[in-house]
Amino acid sequence: MTFHFHAFGQFGRNTKSVFPEDEIRANDTSSKSQIALDDHIRILEYTLADTFKRMPDSSILTLQQNPLLNSWQFDLGNFASASQSLFFDPILDASLHLGLTSLQSNLFLPKQIKYYNTTRPYTDAFYRIGTKQEQMIHLIHTQNIKPNWNVAINYRKIGSPGFYKLQKTNNDNASVSTNYISTNQRYQLHGSLVYNKIQQDENGGIIDENYLLYANYNDKRLIPVSIEAGSTGVNRSSVTNYYRNLSLNLQQQYFIGKADSLYNIDSTEKIYSFKPIFGIRHTLYTNFDKYKFKDMRPDSTFYTQEGSFIFGNNDSVYSNTTLHQIGNSFSLLGNITVHQKTLQSEAGYGLEVESIFNGLYEKQYLNNYVFANLKKESTQAKEWIYDAALQIYFTGNAIGNFNLHGQAGRNFSKKIGDIKLGLVQCVQTAPYLFSQYQTNFFTSAHSFNKQSISKLFLQYNNEYHRVHVNLNYFLIGNYLYRDSNFHAVQYDKVFPLIQLQTQNEFHVSRFALQNVLLFQQVANTTPVHVPVFAARHILSYNNFIFKKKLQISTGLEVHWNTRYYADNYSPIYFGFGNQYTRLISNFPQCSYFFNFKVKRYRASIAFNELQQIFTRNNINYSHYAAQNFGMHFGFHWVFIN
């Protein structure tokens, strides 16, 4: 997996430095202002994909929401299980991967790892507990070993038996990150080590959704499911999916430039400054994926899509897939001046060694690629910014794959807002689990043409009027998906998809109404199935009470979408497949929440799936129903030593 990090331009800022200490942005959406800390305390965070420095979010407006899923994603009816989104958002990556897209929301991803700069040790302890013994703990600790060297540790543990039988999830995520800059500001290092372990029991779905209507089955664990229990343990399935990932990313760069020393206003202190002109960057990245499927008590009828099998009492079906990737990239960085405008440029070469093991299938590839980035940022108000990036593979299994990204934008004024438009194009080789999948009983091997996805987008943001608009136009060719029998197939026609998302907020006194509306249009004959309309509404009352010592936000959150052909889920492939026979239609999903904050302690109490007072459980996917009415309690407790 390749990782090339280029921070896209933002509006209303001066030119960014390559050094973390030069950029600070607050991120407290509850007060729209910088967190009030002691003058000697500064906690900043950023990622390599977005180098703007932000203070940790202390908002309470979204504490009640699922910490793993966004507004458009639905799981299998159990916390931290496989999920899919109503919002069409394909992974546009030219490198090779396994194709387990249903797990993305449950993983720590290298591009999302945060780096910190702190003047005091900082710890954030998050704990969430829900009905049916659902639990999640998330700990973050970071501190500067020296003023120019920071280390951060991040750990998350999730366990949820679920409302339904044999659907337990047990996940571990951990990361260690560090960033260092030399005292002369010429050398900079970013490093991260990321570990993910996902374990999911499979029940195959409930055998009949009519059980959801019967009072005798208010305890949903009484509802029969398609897969039997294993021979050991309670509420453990004979069918399990397991995924483990370990990745190391190390990025270092050295700059040549002009050094200078400046005095402060009263000439009592000398301040060292450095202006980079030319640099070299080296990135080392490794990725080790291991995926296992196991069925200890196989049922012949469960594998009819792959052939006719007769299983004995001691037979089991299993599959093991391992993907190893080790890559290096080298690039040169510098500034180009055109018409008195400075453009930041980067050009480089990368090399990957890639090994795939799946049963008897063993291959090793040497992938070579080149890449280039060009970026112009605004140095003053009402100035256009530009950003372009290109990556092309020219040898190996990924030969011919490429990523192209270009965008331009401008901030017009505070009241008018800013606009950004751009193009993304990606040509991809089929994921390994699509082209080659083996178990000890059957093999599924295919040869596919490259998938091509082009995306034109326009974004409009107006913070003053609280309006945000995203318009996307996709053009998709040779689309890869699983059909109604979960066979990997390719749609050989080119088809468009139009997507419009709008967000606005209305405030009247202490009350606020937030609306997020989604419109998507694609031909019914295509294999992409999404609802035409979807929406999220949050009506809240917000105030400071008890002499402004306690901040509260309480109200209702409602999600709904029009009916559509939601994909079916297959435990065998840990993913989703197409279907054209059943339209999924649900009652709007409703939750009540009460969020509050006292100093650095934030907590939320939420009552979810309130619509079940009037109707049965919603259906997320065929035979996979949503959770029961239940309660969640969660809190963030921040410690600054």
pLDDT at 39: 52
pLDDT at 273: 80
Token pair for 81: 């299980």
pLDDT at 259: 83
Over range 567-571, report the average pLDDT.
Answer: 96
Task: Please tell me which residue, 542 or 547, carries the higher pLDDT value.
Answer: 542
Residue 424, pLDDT above cutoff 90: yes
pLDDT at 531: 98
pLDDT at 458: 98
3-state helix, strand, coil in the chain (%, to 5): 5, 55, 40
- Calculate the average pLDDT of the chain: 90
Percent of residues, the chain, with pLDDT higher than 90: 79
Residue 24, pLDDT above cutoff 70: no
The model's confidence at residue 639, banded by pLDDT at 50, 70 and 90, is very high
Residue 515, pLDDT above cutoff 60: yes
Dihedral pair phi/psi, residue 519, rounded to 5°: -125, 130
pLDDT at 146: 95
pLDDT at 136: 98
pLDDT at 382: 76
Inter-CA distances, 279 with 2, 19, 372, Å: 21, 13, 14
Residue 504's SS3 state is strand
The model's confidence at residue 27, banded by pLDDT at 50, 70 and 90, is very low
pLDDT at 25: 37
The model's confidence at residue 172, banded by pLDDT at 50, 70 and 90, is very high
> Is the C-alpha dihedral spanning 302, 306, 308, 310 positive or negative?
negative
Q: Output the pTM of the full model.
A: 0.91
Q: 25-29, 407-411, 586-590: lowest mean pLDDT where?
A: 25-29
pLDDT at 12: 36
Q: 82-86, 304-308, 483-487: lowest mean pLDDT where?
A: 304-308
pLDDT at 267: 63
The model's confidence at residue 264, banded by pLDDT at 50, 70 and 90, is low
pLDDT at 523: 95
Please write the tens of the pLDDT for every residue from 518-541.
999 999 999 999 999 999 999 999
Q: 95-99, 233-237, 266-270, 298-302: lowest mean pLDDT where?
A: 266-270
Domain ranges of the chain: 20-84+108-640
pLDDT at 379: 65
Please write the tens of the pLDDT for every residue from 428-481.
999 999 999 999 999 999 999 999 999 999 999 999 999 999 999 999 999 999
- 195, amino acid identity: Y
Residue 505, pLDDT above cutoff 80: yes
Residue 379's SS3 state is coil
Question: Cβ(604)–Cβ(632) under 8 Å?
Answer: yes
Residue 602, pLDDT above cutoff 70: yes
pLDDT at 343: 84
Burial 494-532 (b: 16+ CB within 10 A, else e): ebebebebbbeeeeeeeebebebebebebeeebbbbbbe
- Strand ranges in 296-383 using DSSP code E only, listed in sequence order: 317-338, 341-358, 361-376
Domain 20-84+108-640 is found in CATH 2.40.170.20: yes
Residue 30, pLDDT above cutoff 70: no
